[in-house]
């Protein structure tokens, strides 16, 4: 089964959880350990990526170690064409729709596409929409951030992604955001969108995860949560809130 079909099948049953691992934040052994723990707790896929400091070397090593350790899909969450790993099952072939930089909208993708084709990695298309505060990814991506009180702008970008034929839409507040994407924005987008909606950035508590789910998120992504020691209980409670 393709990774896209796997995700769509799971999301049709209920909200899923994906664990984001940044290859720059720990050694490969620890990255694999985090992935194994997350899988055991019920996460549905491992995403690998980071806004800065991901290179071919740390990506390949992390992806290979995680791939060896888990049975769930390993999906690359790229920040550009500079690093692509054949050790991932798929990659989000994504466009930052509200970037002012054409490189983030389509040029990096045009550079990456022949490599993706050659390596035979499954591309899963995704419209990526940056919401305030946007954090590092909003900054390096030169995003015209969607204001937190402007759900209609998010709706416009999301629907445009669907009409352009993208498989998924991702509302991103940015890794480490002090506040996640507002529930009202999630529900506004969800009310018109026919493709699955992924939400991430700043979700660290079961309450925040449950709020995203209640508002209509088909998938919730957490990353920073697993970067601190003793993350086990928090990750478990976040996954439980999403699955219950
Ligand atoms: C970042 O949305 C993800 O792309 C995860 O964000 O690190 O804040 O969980 P956090």
pLDDT given for residue 51 in this prediction = 83
Whether 123 is in the pocket of ligand 1, judged by its Cβ within 6 Å, is: no
Instruction: Please state whether the peptide bond connecting residue 133 to the residue before it is cis, i.e. omega within 30 degrees of 0.
Output: yes
pLDDT tens column, 115-125? 999 999 999 99
User: Domain 3-243 carries which CATH code?
Assistant: 3.20.20.390
Residue 223 CA to ligand 1 center (angstroms) comes to: 5
- Is 29 within 8 Å of 65 (Cβ atoms)? yes
pLDDT given for residue 162 in this prediction = 98
Mean per-residue pLDDT of the chain: 97
pLDDT given for residue 67 in this prediction = 97
Rg (CA), the chain: 16
Residue 210, pLDDT above cutoff 90: yes
Whether 91 is in the pocket of ligand 1, judged by its Cβ within 6 Å, is: no
Residue 129, pLDDT above cutoff 90: yes
Whether 176 is in the pocket of ligand 1, judged by its Cβ within 6 Å, is: yes
Distance CA 185, CA 202 (A): 15
pLDDT given for residue 228 in this prediction = 86
> What 3 state SS string does 104-143 have?
HHHHHHHHHHHHHHHHCCEEEEEEEEEECCCHHHHHHCCE
pLDDT band at 8 (very low <50, low <70, confident <90, very high): very high
The number of angstroms, rounded, from the C-alpha of 76 to the middle of its chain's C-alpha atoms is 9
Distance CA 157, CA 137 (A): 18
pLDDT given for residue 236 in this prediction = 97
Residue 4, pLDDT above cutoff 90: yes
Whether 89 is in the pocket of ligand 1, judged by its Cβ within 6 Å, is: no
Residue 191 CA to ligand 1 center (angstroms) comes to: 23
pLDDT band at 14 (very low <50, low <70, confident <90, very high): very high
- Is 172 within 8 Å of 201 (Cβ atoms)? yes
pLDDT given for residue 64 in this prediction = 97
pLDDT given for residue 98 in this prediction = 98
- Is 127 within 8 Å of 143 (Cβ atoms)? no
Whether 201 is in the pocket of ligand 1, judged by its Cβ within 6 Å, is: yes
pLDDT band at 12 (very low <50, low <70, confident <90, very high): very high
Percentage of the chain exceeding pLDDT 90: 96
Spatial CA neighbour of 209 closest among 170, 177, 174, 237: 237
Stretch 154-170: mean pLDDT, rounded? 98
The number of angstroms, rounded, from the C-alpha of 58 to the middle of its chain's C-alpha atoms is 19
pLDDT tens column, 37-85? 999 999 999 999 998 889 999 999 999 999 999 999 999 999 989 999 9
Residue 87, pLDDT above cutoff 90: yes
pLDDT tens column, 23-39? 999 999 999 999 999 99
Whether 223 is in the pocket of ligand 1, judged by its Cβ within 6 Å, is: yes
Residue 15, pLDDT above cutoff 90: yes
Residue 177, pLDDT above cutoff 90: yes
Residue 242 CA to ligand 1 center (angstroms) comes to: 16
Stretch 179-205: mean pLDDT, rounded? 98
């Amino acid at each position: 089964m393709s990774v896209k079909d796997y995700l769509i099948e799971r999301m049709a049953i209920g909200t899923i959880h994906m664990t984001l691992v940044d290859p720059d934040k720990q050694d490969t052994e620890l990255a694999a350990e985090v992935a194994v723990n997350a899988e055991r707790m019920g996460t549905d896929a491992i995403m690998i990526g980071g806004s800065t400091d991901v290179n071919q070397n740390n990506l390949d090593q992390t992806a290979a170690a995680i791939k060896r350790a888990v049975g769930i899909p390993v999906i690359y969450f790229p920040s550009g064409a500079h690093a692509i790993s054949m050790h991932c099952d798929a990659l989000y072939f994504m466009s930052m729709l509200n970037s002012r930089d054409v490189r983030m909208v389509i040029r990096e993708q045009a550079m990456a596409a022949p490599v993706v084709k050659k390596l035979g990695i499954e591309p899963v298309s995704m419209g990526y929409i940056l919401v305030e505060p946007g954090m590092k990814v909003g900054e390096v991506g030169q995003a015209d951030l969607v204001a937190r009180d402007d759900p209609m702008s998010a709706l416009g970008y999301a629907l445009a992604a669907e009409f352009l034929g993208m498989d998924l839409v991702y509302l991103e507040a940015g890794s480490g955001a002090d506040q996640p994407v507002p529930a009202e924005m999630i529900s506004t987008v969800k009310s018109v969108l026919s493709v699955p909606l992924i939400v991430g950035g700043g979700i660290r508590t079961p309450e925040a995860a449950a709020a995203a789910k209640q508002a209509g998120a088909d998938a919730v992504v957490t990353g920073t949560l697993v970067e601190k020691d003793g993350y086990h209980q928090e990750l478990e409670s976040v996954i439980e809130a999403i699955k219950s």
